[in-house]
Structure 1
């Protein structure tokens, strides 16, 4: 299976995991209400990162069910809005300049002419780079653990809600509950995955028509993008932090009936074995399949990682 552009970009830029999960398409989705497009992603958003690298917001757990955000698709079963606590906002928390994966090295030529504003050599067959001309600001929930109970309690309803919207064949089974983000005014980014060629060069030049962005040039096949947004707002989300909720099953369309908290692989295996026995006993009825749901925060929080077995 060929990795999507987002898979490649996120995989290699995640080496800077302290910032969270990188988005290849930082701009707000155009189908969102106008105020959402103006501000960008918000704490409490629940959505799916599509193959292009854009977070498709399904709903927000901190907004009422009658909020305009929910007009198009509604909210999950038994939805109840929650309030979040204090947040921390920081300006220029990511300084202006490049962020890149391992194997990409910046070339310094202090005593000679430079071919571009930034020059990099790549010694690996795959990698990713992000340049933030103005740096990035951050907003983060001071106690993200407060969302963990909400996520674990409602994971199944959220997954089923997403499945109805996308269909299981288009759902990668990973939902994100946003607890923070890094936003920028402008950005340039790119990634490459070329197993046959392990070396290359990357150049970044300021656009002559808009000095707020860099134009990337790769000496090897690559995917690259850039944007200045609308120039007046910091609403381009380059990294998200939050809980990743993943459903796992050996079959393509699991039906989950009951959740039990677990911290051991052995417990999960026992639950799966019991589920198989129940399935064998009930062959004459409707079929149900065992599955597990994990709830993990990115970047990792100390002692915050949960696994649930569903039988």
Structure 2
């Protein structure tokens, strides 16, 4: 187990790695992300450094941004990710499902897939770019892949472990289970719950009229899963890592060139696993007075049994929250936790020849209290 090395490629700055590291992990080393322990798999590549440095973000601009970043208060999506990383389930998405209307129809319907390459966004979502398990003519990749793109060959992308009941009905994930408490809202009609007889029949008994949450901590995060959720992980992660090492320079040139994303070095993320749900609620709070924190997550009333159940935070005191659900009952496309690895490229000099080395970095699972999944 080794610490990932600092990255430097002409025209490509690693400043935002310091930027995000100093925010989420304020006491670590390596990548300037303090606290996490990384596995680093380094693959030397016999190719020249990309000649067009202008296709990467300006180092001076990124350095300036990193210098000022710590003075900016955390927003709700950052608090949410920071706090739920402690549960070591993967990277928590504040936005489990993208609302980008330009995504392929199948992606909007099914959500994140094994083999997706994308970028974790500042708003707490996943910016999908392309999928390495599908060919260039597949719907998921049309107009999205590099000219020299080839899918990962002789590889079964469906060779996964699937846990369809990873999360139970009416369950939740709290940043600190000992300090965030759940109780069921009484099912009998009250002034605060006049719609008891108009709720969808598919709402689980474990949810009933709704769930109420309180906290004895002033900072925390909460994920509510009224209909539970599933977990999927690919069994051959090492093959993904090797393939990413072979293709990473081409990916960065394409993403920052044809796709115009200005993706900083180390920001590309390859998905090897995820947790998904049909319906979800997310909430976070910081610098709050504990006795003022009150959240009520309840089913929405409906006049038609043909509609799928929906849920919302009816009460959200001293916290920020959001909720969502798929359009079909039984479909699970909301990605609540993401697993995979980030890919970074750095230049080395071997026998007077410039070459590239790709760092595949992921946080190791550890019992240490300051180690986070990433």
Whether TM-score is above 0.5 comes out as yes
Deviation string, structure 1 residues 158-190 (Cα, Å, up to 9, x no partner): 23332233453x648422111111110100111
TM (norm. structure 2) is: 0.60
Deviation string, structure 1 residues 29-52 (Cα, Å, up to 9, x no partner): 432111111111111000011112
1:188 and 1:224 in contact (8 A); partners too: yes
Instruction: Map 1:71-150 to 2 at 5 A.
Output: 71-73=142-144, 75-76=145-146, 78-82=148-152, 83-84=155-156, 86-96=159-169, 97-102=171-176, 104-106=179-181, 117-124=211-218, 126-150=219-243
Which whole-Å CA distance do the structure 2 matches of 1:258 and 1:178 have between them? Answer: 27
TM (norm. structure 1) is: 0.71
How far did 1:26 drift?
0.9
Instruction: Map 1:164-243 to 2 at 5 A.
Output: 164=257, 165-168=259-262, 171=264, 173-194=266-287, 197=288, 199=290, 200-209=292-301, 212-215=310-313, 217-220=315-318, 222-232=319-329, 233-243=331-341
How far did 1:140 drift?
1.4
Aligned residues: 259
1:177 and 1:243 in contact (8 A); partners too: yes
Q: Which protein is richer in strand relative to its size?
A: 1
Residues 158 and 258 (structure 1), Cα distance of their counterparts in 2 relative to 1, 3 Å cut: farther
Which whole-Å CA distance do the structure 1 matches of 2:335 and 2:129 have between them? Answer: 17
How far did 1:243 drift?
1.4
- The structure whose RCO (Cα within 8 Å, separation 6+) is larger is 2
1:131 and 1:188 in contact (8 A); partners too: yes
Q: Secondary structure at the match of 1:62?
A: coil
Q: Which runs of no fewer than 5 residues in structure 2 stay unpaired?
A: 1-68, 193-209, 303-308, 367-374
Q: Which runs of no fewer than 5 residues in structure 1 stay unpaired?
A: 248-255, 261-273, 279-289, 302-311
Instruction: Map 1:52-63 to 2 at 5 A.
Output: 52-63=123-134
Residues 7 and 84 (structure 1), Cα distance of their counterparts in 2 relative to 1, 3 Å cut: farther
Q: CA RMSD of the aligned region, Å?
A: 3.4
